[in-house]
Amino acid sequence: MNSIFSSANIDSTKLITHFLPLIHIPPNMPRQLDHIDNNILQILQQRARISNIDLSREIDLLPALTLERMRKLEKHGFIEGYHARINLGKMGVAIEALIQVNLHQHQGSNLHDFIEAVPEIPEVMECYQVTSEFDYMLQALTTDIEALDKLITNTISKTPKVGQIKSHIIRSVVKQSRVAPMLNASE
We report the CATH number of the domain holding residue 18 as: 1.10.10.10
Number of domains in the chain: 2
pTM of the model: 0.72
Q: Of how many residues is the chain composed?
A: 187
Q: Are residues 38 and 104 in the same domain?
A: no
Q: Are residues 163 and 98 in the same domain?
A: yes
- Is position 183 within any domain? no
Write the CATH number for 114.
Answer: 3.30.70.920
Q: Are residues 132 and 105 in the same domain?
A: yes
pLDDT in tens, 11-58: 444 444 444 444 444 454 456 789 999 999 999 999 999 999 999 999
Q: Are residues 93 and 165 in the same domain?
A: yes
Output the pLDDT for position 176.
Answer: 86
- Is position 68 within any domain? yes
Output the pLDDT for position 5.
Answer: 42
Alpha-carbon distances, residue 177 vs 85, 154, 180 (angstroms): 11, 32, 8
- Is position 71 within any domain? yes
What residue ranges of the chain have pLDDT lower than 50?
1-26, 28-29, 187
Domain range spanning residue 33? 9-75
Q: Are residues 120 and 157 in the same domain?
A: yes
* Contact predicate 82/45, CB 8 Å: no
Angle between helices 63-75 and 35-46 (to 10 degrees): 80
Q: Are residues 95 and 43 in the same domain?
A: no
For residue 93, give the nearest of 136, 48, 141, 53 by alpha carbon. Answer: 141
- Is position 54 within any domain? yes
Output the pLDDT for position 59.
Answer: 96
- Is position 124 within any domain? yes
Q: Are residues 93 and 55 in the same domain?
A: no
Return the number of other C-beta atoms located less than 10 Å from residue 101's C-beta.
25
Q: Are residues 29 and 98 in the same domain?
A: no
Output the pLDDT for position 27.
Answer: 52
Q: Are residues 114 and 163 in the same domain?
A: yes
